[in-house]
Structure 1
């Protein structure tokens, strides 16, 4: 580790799970020219971003993507409210805060659900999922979070999607915190509806989200219920695919940045980015354990981009946050039932091994000073 007495770094290292530190080329792209969204130049940009997004999520010629101006949650809500038919139902696989959010979104739209509450930081039992689907044929869809960032839990998308399909159900996947970092393929994993964000592990700027699925599924929304207006996926798909224009005024600077980020992601490749994120996470986790802190999950269940770690003995999160912020690091609190004893550290974005070393030195110094 580097010496904690070195001068404070010039940049602030974001260890929160989005927004993330971005490449200089992404930040530069934000200052692109002013542009009317009804002009051909934006139509061309929209078409490129949709295509590159589909490639980034592992889609093929059967698939496409719709881009939304909003946070990742807007994409999840758009998928749930648009895809579940009248008279349908949603099995919510809930092992954390964002699984619980599936439940709240469905309830807001009057969609019937069965909530398979497994408990926070609890691995999903495939047999329980199969039993829940078998017991209620009216559950037409299954909602699943890939990376449950409340705990850092990575759920097995491929295995659980296979179970859903064996029971004739459609999968809606919250991949907001996983796409770009984890092994995930819309085509190979058989995911039916995938909701993601331009930020987080795709390393774009905040402000854009997307839903990816087959062209056939998007076309099928013509007969689906209209539960909302702004988040009606059929409205967005029709505008973007047929008119090659946005349904509403988009966040144009975020599009410039997202295209730059997608170019970087596609050039790096999903395997290499997963390896980069994994190496940083392993470096961080080894250092945390070396200074005596406990990690929440067993190694087999940990995502590549976030670590839930115990608070140092005798130190509240607010004190820890202030001390590390003064050293140039932003950390993230745990949520709800985990907040008293744990905090979270992301290794998303353009973080480096040197950043991790400096962080561990700063944290170790604070723990010594507080002892």
Structure 2
């Protein structure tokens, strides 16, 4: 069982950005796996194992499987959202942040018929409005949702939306890139038809592999949907990996080996326990920043367990704060232009309580030094 309180190496930057994350030494060591040909039986066996473990972490069973992509989470998103909507279908994109907007940009660039519902970056999704939109428009066949909208740190109401979408007989496609592995999510209980995940966030792997998890029935049905892209054709990857037992194109085998180690650790720790570990770290961050008078973007009950969005203290810029903290060994993350003056502190990955305390102490030093310089 992985330790709930990992040690933080003193010679490594503490990554408080929402992915990539600080990983366990065993995950990093797996990157040094031997050179191998991707068309050999060992590679095929690795792909099968990783697909099965990724499916399990999403709550899937023998009816489900995962399709692996060489690329960041956006590669898997584009593979899913460009592949699942038939020519006579239409997708409803639920947008309340940067990553909801990204879903819209993906379907828009591929010319996929869509409807975009914008709720505002700091506003929750109105489930009743989604219900009405589906009731009023029978041409909508799919709904796209970001589970954890890290641009604001908001956790969207996955289960409630899943129940509404299922009741209307539509398909739900979920960007779970920043939630899978630490937030409650279940393919069956949440009525998820298409779930997109990545290695390098709450699963605590390294960047370079992402995946789409779905039922085999849904994937088989893609045979009748004409592809909109060549490299990211989801059905093509599925057929090659599942029926031909071979990758469609060259995979990132070393990164995949590291992902398998990360998945083994994730499954051993369990999503519930990892979520509790992350929650404890997030509460430590939030309590410390609250004591320092920092203002939060969202109310406490709307935040996910792995990212906290806060305003830069008065009298300094984000760049000054970031650079000062990085010089101290801690990396925080900006938000997009729509939320100027807000930054993100993530607690994904192998972080210890001591690392959080170190960050807060460094925060104090940087704020004091900038204050002294301006005095």
Query: Per the shorter chain, which TM-score range?
Result: over 0.9
1:202 is paired with a residue whose SS is coil
Matches within 5 A, 1:118-157: 118-157=119-158
How far did 1:369 drift? 2.4
Q: Is the 8 A contact 1:89 1:141 kept in 2?
A: yes
> CA–CA distance in 2 between the matches of 1:131 and 1:100?
21
Q: Counterpart of 1:353?
A: 353
> CA–CA distance in 2 between the matches of 1:124 and 1:259?
34
> CA–CA distance in 2 between the matches of 1:37 and 1:282?
43
> CA–CA distance in 1 between the matches of 2:14 and 2:27?
17
Q: Counterpart of 1:3?
A: none
Q: Counterpart of 2:201?
A: 200
> CA–CA distance in 2 between the matches of 1:24 and 1:366?
30
- What does the per-residue CA deviation read over 1:182-239, in whole Å, with 9 as the maximum and x for residues that have no partner? 0111122110000110110001110000000001111111111211111111100100
Q: Is the 8 A contact 1:9 1:327 kept in 2?
A: no
Q: Counterpart of 2:368?
A: 368
> CA–CA distance in 2 between the matches of 1:238 and 1:115?
31
Structure 1 runs (4+) greater than 3 angstroms displaced: none
Q: Is the 8 A contact 1:60 1:187 kept in 2?
A: no
> CA–CA distance in 2 between the matches of 1:277 and 1:168?
35
- What does the per-residue CA deviation read over 1:31-88, in whole Å, with 9 as the maximum and x for residues that have no partner? 0000101000001111100001100111111110001001101111111111111121
> CA–CA distance in 2 between the matches of 1:226 and 1:310?
43
1:196 is paired with a residue whose SS is strand
Matches within 5 A, 1:99-110: 99-110=100-111
Matches within 5 A, 1:59-78: 59-78=60-79
Q: Counterpart of 2:242?
A: 241
- What does the per-residue CA deviation read over 1:305-338, in whole Å, with 9 as the maximum and x for residues that have no partner? 0010110111101111110011000110011210
Matches within 5 A, 1:301-312: 301-312=302-313
Matches within 5 A, 1:180-329: 180-329=181-330
Q: Counterpart of 1:13?
A: 14
Q: Counterpart of 2:36?
A: 35
How far did 1:9 drift? 4.3
How far did 1:10 drift? 2.5
> CA–CA distance in 1 between the matches of 2:18 and 2:240?
32
1:276 is paired with a residue whose SS is helix
TM-score by length of 2: 0.95
How far did 1:368 drift? 2.1
RMSD of aligned Cα (Å): 1.0
Structure 1 stretch displaced more, 347-356 or 182-191 = 182-191
> CA–CA distance in 2 between the matches of 1:13 and 1:223?
47
> CA–CA distance in 2 between the matches of 1:87 and 1:76?
21
> CA–CA distance in 2 between the matches of 1:10 and 1:109?
44
> CA–CA distance in 1 between the matches of 2:275 and 2:307?
13
2:202 is paired with a residue whose SS is helix
Residue ranges of structure 2 left out of the alignment (5+ in a row): 1-8
Q: Is the 8 A contact 1:178 1:201 kept in 2?
A: yes
Q: Counterpart of 1:5?
A: none
Q: Counterpart of 1:4?
A: none
1:82 is paired with a residue whose SS is coil
> CA–CA distance in 2 between the matches of 1:235 and 1:369?
56
Residue ranges of structure 1 left out of the alignment (5+ in a row): 1-7
Q: Counterpart of 2:331?
A: 330
- What does the per-residue CA deviation read over 1:82-141, in whole Å, with 9 as the maximum and x for residues that have no partner? 111112111110000000111110011111111110000211111111111122111110
> CA–CA distance in 1 between the matches of 2:365 and 2:282?
21
Q: Counterpart of 2:165?
A: 164
> CA–CA distance in 1 between the matches of 2:40 and 2:304?
41
